[in-house]
Amino acid sequence: MTGMPSRDTFEYAVLRVVPRVERGESLNAGVLVYCRQRDYLGSRVHLDPDRLRALDPTADAAAIARALRAATDVCSAEPGAGAAGREALGSRFRWLTAPRSTVIQPGPVHTGLTADPDAEADRLLRVLVLPVGG
């Protein structure tokens, strides 16, 4: 078919905030998107302070926001990303999506097809993270 943009496989995971790990309650606060064919690794984050306070009124929102920013730094290879930010894109995505028992936890990795992984990251943020109607 002519005129149809080519679509490539991408992988994504939701970043969840688990303010009290022992309780296991979480809120979605970001997405990670990786597309090998397009040489793309991106993230979008949004921490809703009201939802965070509903889960744990004592949660340190500033520290959690810094942890989320650290994940975005690894995606974009910002200077503060450390050794992880110097790895290949696929290695960075695998490192970010490895299971962990911390306040910021990745959800399972899912796949899809996209013609624009950056736009896909925006769409996933709207669908999976931002408040409904927000």
pLDDT one-digit tens code per residue, 112-123: 999 999 999 999
Q: How confident is the model at residue 80 (pLDDT cuts 50, 70, 90)?
A: low
The pLDDT of residue 31 is 98
Mean pLDDT to the nearest integer, 70-96: 84
Is the per-residue pLDDT at 103 higher than 90? yes
Can you give the chain as a three-state secondary structure string? CCCCCCCEEEEEEEEEECCCCCCCCCEEEEEEEEECCCCEEEEEECCCHHHHHHHCCCCCHHHHHHHHHHHHHHHHCCHHHHHHHHCCHHHHHHHHHCCCCCCEEECCCEEEEECCHHHHHHHHHHHHCCCCCC
Please name every residue paired with 33 in a beta bridge, in sequence order, or none if there are none.
12, 42
Is the per-residue pLDDT at 46 higher than 60? yes
Total-model pTM? 0.90
